């Protein structure tokens, strides 16, 4: 880790600077907040990412949202201790370089930390967006006070972060938690990673919509058909939950089957990591028990009994606020450890 300041200087800065910035960089939105050093939110700001315009524009937009926060709060750069940014995709959190991000075109080996440090003279740290969510839920959400936690985010795709014995795990290449590519079928749906049968191709917004669509195209009757005027691209994960609540058999079966696949993944996670708590977050988790009921049944039947009895499966408490908060926590932890 390259730091901007020496150890003694850092101590002084640590005492003087009172605020933290947390940023959640998503494919659609940049969400940012200023926090006090106790993580109380002072202000927040949200703007579109415009990821298609490439890395330089995206970095400038993040900078713009930071400046917007300064003007809302009358806080200036010299009062900020550090910035944490959650970035999707592969990255090196030690050097602050984002290597590749699947939903960001023209985005390769972006020196995120260096860029912000040169513009603002504020120490800036990046980590994977899912891990930032994990820090948020661990400190202030569903994982509070626990030492063994797995967070699974069910969004467009599927990601996870892992805490074992009070430590967030990274692994040789920082890719621990890529359970979206856990192989569930010997042959199955093709995945962007080059393999097939990966968990994320089934248990995610994309996976659920594909399962539903396959059933409808096989001729199964669903109320959703009337809602979309025959245009399958209009189906959303929310519609599936709505149809489920109306007793629609296709939606019920889709969430049941998806929940079962999720259940088998949870069995593997429980047997492998022995967590006290698995937190399910991300937009798809809003389906709640419609999805989790069948997952819990599989866990009940298939996971190692002692491990299973020690593990609760819950939905996230902080929702999409956890990533922004977690980014601030992550950055402050690094500065505090120096
Ligand atoms: Zn894969």
CA 26 to ligand 1 centroid distance, Å? 20
What separation in Å is there between the alpha carbon of 53 and the centre of ligand 1? 26
Compute the distance between CA of residue 183 and CA of residue 185 in angstroms, rounded to an integer.
6
pLDDT in tens, 36-45: 999 999 999 9
Specify burial of residue 48 (Cβ count, 10 A radius: 0-12, 13-18, 19+).
Answer: exposed
pLDDT tens for 217-269 read 998 999 998 899 888 889 998 899 999 999 999 999 999 999 999 999 999 99
Q: How far is the CA of 114 from the centre of ligand 1 (A)?
A: 31
Please report the pLDDT score of residue 103 as a whole number. Answer: 79
When pLDDT is cut at 50, 70 and 90, the band that residue 11 belongs to is low
Instruction: Tell me the CA–centroid distance for residue 193 and ligand 1, in Å.
Output: 4
| 75-122 tens-digit pLDDT | 999 999 999 999 998 899 999 999 988 778 889 999 999 999 999 999
CB-based neighbours (< 5 A) of ligand 1, an ion: 181, 191, 193, 195, 198
Residue 89 Cα, ligand 1 centroid: separation in angstroms?
13
Contacts 24+ apart (CB under 8 A), 176-180: 177/128, 177/130, 177/131, 179/152, 179/265, 179/269, 180/204
């Amino acid at each position: 880790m390259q730091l901007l300041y020496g150890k003694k200087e850092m101590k002084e800065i640590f005492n003087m600077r009172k605020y933290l910035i947390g940023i959640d960089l998503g494919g659609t939105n940049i969400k940012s907040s200023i926090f006090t050093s106790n993580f109380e939110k002072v202000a927040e700001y949200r703007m579109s990412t415009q990821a298609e315009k490439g890395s330089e524009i995206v970095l400038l937009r993040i900078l713009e949202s930071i400046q917007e926060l300064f003007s809302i709060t009358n806080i200036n750069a010299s009062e900020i201790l550090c910035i944490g940014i959650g970035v999707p995709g592969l990255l090196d959190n030690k050097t602050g370089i984002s290597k590749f991000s699947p939903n960001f075109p023209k985005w390769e080996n972006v020196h995120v930390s260096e860029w912000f440090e040169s513009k603002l003279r504020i120490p800036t740290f990046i980590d994977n967006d899912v891990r930032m969510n994990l820090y948020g839920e661990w400190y202030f959400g569903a994982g509070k006070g626990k030492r063994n936690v797995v967070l699974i985010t069910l969004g467009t795709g599927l990601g996870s972060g892992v805490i074992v014995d009070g430590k967030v795990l990274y692994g040789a290449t920082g890719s621990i938690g890529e359970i979206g590519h856990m192989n569930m079928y010997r042959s199955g749906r093709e995945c962007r990673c080059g393999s097939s049968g990966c968990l994320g191709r089934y248990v995610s917004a994309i996976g659920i919509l594909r399962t539903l669509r396959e059933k409808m195209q096989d001729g199964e009757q669903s109320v959703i058909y009337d809602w979309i005027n025959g245009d399958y691209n209009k189906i959303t994960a929310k519609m599936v939950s709505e149809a489920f609540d109306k007793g629609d058999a296709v939606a019920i079966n889709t969430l049941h089957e998806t929940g079962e696949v999720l259940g088998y993944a949870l069995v593997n996670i429980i047997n492998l990591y022995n967590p006290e708590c698995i937190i399910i977050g991300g937009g798809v988790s809003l389906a709640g028990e419609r999805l989790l009921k069948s997952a819990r049944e599989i866990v009940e039947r298939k996971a190692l009994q002692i491990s299973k009895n020690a593990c609760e499966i819950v939905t996230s408490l902080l929702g999409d606020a956890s990533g922004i908060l977690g980014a601030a926590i992550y950055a402050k932890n690094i500065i505090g450890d120096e």
